Amino acid sequence: MQYGTDHRSERKPMKPYYDHDGITIYHGDCREILPTLEPVDLVLTDPPYNTLSDHDIDLAGRSPMKRNFGDWDEGWVPPLDEWFRVVNPGGSVLAFSSDRLISEYRKGPFKPRGTLVWVKDNPAPAPRPAYVQATEWIVWLQRHGGAATWNGNGYITNVLHSSVCAGDERKDHPTQKPIKLIRPLILRHSNKADTILDPFMGSGTTLRAAKDLGRKAIGIEIEERYCEIAANRMAQGVLL
């Protein structure tokens, strides 16, 4: 395969689940929808972590810690070729990841630019004698052929601090990321006229943050109930 070749499908894109004010949501499998899309400037997504466990973990005084996300979270590897074809030259991918998957992101056609660390201010307690898992990783990749967008002027480390979703921000998705964490990533890696893609949209946090910051965005989600949650979030006023 020659990377950089345009392999977009001749099929017309399917009808959006939601399309308003620069925000578009598709309900379906991203593997089928990605080939129909026009190029985007940034992929910012929270894909599967390949951490499937047989059961959720009960925690005293708290909601269960979800560990059984379904078969889609087993044996998953990043679809880097598909992402490469949909990203403009110079465009970036920011993908949340578990430590066990970071090496998979180094095997594709993108140029690795670094790894960010999200430090959680309020991580869930360990259910057994073990270290509390207070970090997640974000892999930064760039497509060759242009300069990467970087609005991170000044002295910025690769460490981000934020609480996990709780209270009013918590919705129905088990791995929802906080808007406070997503907004600075969008600001640093995109410009006002750019289009952002989240092919594993979940409940729509990336799209919500993009809308707040005046960007266009496309989200793809295979479960309709999360499409509905995301569409309802888009209907709210700008949350600054």
Class of domain 18-234: alpha beta
Task: Identify residue 104 by its one-letter amino acid code.
Answer: E
Q: What is the pTM of this model?
A: 0.84
| Max Cα distance, the chain (Å) | 54
| Nearest-angstrom CA–CA distance, 170 and 174 | 9
Over the range 120-148, which residues count as b (16 or more CB within 10 Å of their CB) and which as e? beeeeeeeeeeeeeeebbbbbbbbeeeee
Q: Mind listing the pLDDT tens digit for each residue in 163-214?
A: 887 666 666 677 789 999 999 999 999 999 999 999 999 999 999 999 999 9
Task: Enter the tokens of residue 14.
Answer: 């399917």
Q: Let me know: does 194 contact 210? Beta carbons within 8 Å.
A: no
Q: Mind listing the pLDDT tens digit for each residue in 63-120?
A: 555 555 555 455 578 899 999 999 999 999 999 998 888 999 999 999 999 999 999 9
